[in-house]
Amino acid sequence: MKNFKKASMFVFIMIMIFSLMGCEDIIDTNLDSNTGDILEIHFIDVGQADSIFIKKGQEAMLIDAGNNKDGKTVVEYIKNQNVSKLNYVIGTHPHADHIGGLDDVIDNLDIDKLIMPNAISNTKTFEDVLDSIDKKGLKITKPKVGDRYTLNGAEFIVLAPNGESYESLNDYSVVVKLIDGETSFLFTGDAEALSEKEMLKSNRNLLKSDVLKVGHHGSVTSTSQEFLDAVDPYIAVISSETGNSYGHPHKEIIERLTEKNIDICRTDLQGTIIIKSNGKSLEFNHKEIVLNNNSPVNKPDVVISNVDKIEEIVTIKNNSKDEINLEGWKLLSVTGNQEYIFPKYVLKGGEVVTVTSGNKEGDLDWGSTNIWNNTKSDPAVLYDEAGKEIFRFND
């Protein structure tokens, strides 16, 4: 992509705007497209599992289908998008939280090409998938690194698996990078650090992507620092379930993403996440984001860039170049109606400050009580000293 540098700047501007909107409240509208059909990526909320539906005009694909119990939900979801044929289906690897619902998808939808790695599992779930494949007379296409497939003008490239055999089934995960014009998405399945290392070796220069589907539900076994640095995404999407027994996403990964100022979208907190691309810009919300250097970037200077409700850490960022004195500003936990009034604190341009509760370590201390509701929605709202709402972080 020879215009990639320019594209990166465009996307950067988009992200500045996006971070004001958060990744929530995604509603359907029409992003104007000059370059053909809109590409839609739906990270379907299937709990502790993955299922990603991708559509561009009349063509569509699916990456994983959730657990066994999610099969019908996924099929319904796809049918509700007026799609009855999938040009591609990728079963990233034979674990139940990825291929569990695949038999339902195969039984109920037309499929042109089914891509699955050369890995087997002796579970009933896997056998059910093979039965459905047989019944339908489908052929499995093995992924080959470097293979390219088109989706109505967009294109995806296979980046993993690079090896023949692995100890962990996760490392067999089919990893693809989807490119639509100047926008790009990396889907990693459950690929772990070993597979990431192989991708860094074989295709480092292809890894850079605007959106990263974080590997293995945000587990520390994936998203190694070197890999994350190479992908260098603006947005990270994590598919997991609240209260899952694995503790996904792991706090180390959230920290790793936060440190790089990557916006985090989570199905466990936000439900199904939809991202749209017109080949130049991405849309997460009702407002179209125009990506050019003349964009009127009407953004507040100070934003809540993250609320880690489990760790009780709120991160506030000053996006302007100037220092801002937060004295008298207020941070509100909406559900518990608890408020924190800022003492004199000068936040320098481009810097962040953390407000922590429950005796957690941070820059500003909100006391020993836990503030954030971990089971229900609990938006965070920031007000300036005059009581004007500056930023709302929905969850």
For Zn ion, give the closer residue by CB, 97 or 210.
97
Residue among 128 and 190 whose Cβ is closer to Zn ion: 190
The alpha carbon torsion through 67, 72, 237, 228 (nearest 10 deg) reads 40
Write down the least CB distance from residue 133 to Zn ion, Å.
21
Beta carbon of residue 165, minimum distance to Zn ion (angstroms, whole number): 20
Do the beta carbons of residue 196 and residue 224 sit within 8 Å? yes
Whichever of 100 and 181 has its CB closer to Zn ion, that residue is: 100
DSSP 275-317: EEE-SS-EE-SSS----STT------SEEEEEEETTTTEEEEE
Q: What is the largest CA-CA distance in the chain?
A: 69
Q: Which helix (H) or strand (E) holds 111?
A: strand 110-115
Q: Is 18 helix (H, G, I), strand (E, B) or coil?
A: helix
Burial class (CB in 10 A: 0-12, 13-18, 19+), 227: buried
d(CA 361, CA 372): 16
CB nearer to Zn ion: pick between 13 and 169: 169
Please report how close the Cβ of residue 104 comes to Zn ion at its closest, in angstroms. Answer: 18
Contact in structure between 202 and 145 (CB atoms under 8 Å) = yes
Q: Measure the CA–CA gap between 51 and 42, rounded to whole angstroms.
A: 8
- The residue ranges that bind Zn ion (CB under 5 A) are 97, 190
Number of Cα atoms under 13 Å in the Cβ half of residue 198: 20
Tokens 């059909």 label which residue?
Answer: 37
Closer residue to Zn ion, CB minimum distance, 190 or 312: 190
Residue nearer to Zn ion on the CB measure, 97 or 308: 97
CB nearer to Zn ion: give 59 or 190.
Answer: 190
Q: CB nearer to Zn ion: give 87 or 170.
A: 170
| Tokens standing for residue 317 | 């960022």
199: tokens are: 């991708």
CB of residue 92 vs Zn ion: minimum separation in angstroms? 8
Shortest Å distance, C-beta 170 to Zn ion = 7
Q: Which is nearer to Zn ion, 40 or 50 (CB)?
A: 50
> Exposure of 368 by Cβ count < 10 A (0-12 exposed, 13-18 middle, 19+ buried)?
exposed
- How many other CB atoms are there within 10 angstroms of residue 193's CB atom? 20
Cα gap 247→268, rounded to integer Å: 12
Burial of 394 (0-12, 13-18, 19+ CB in 10 A): middle
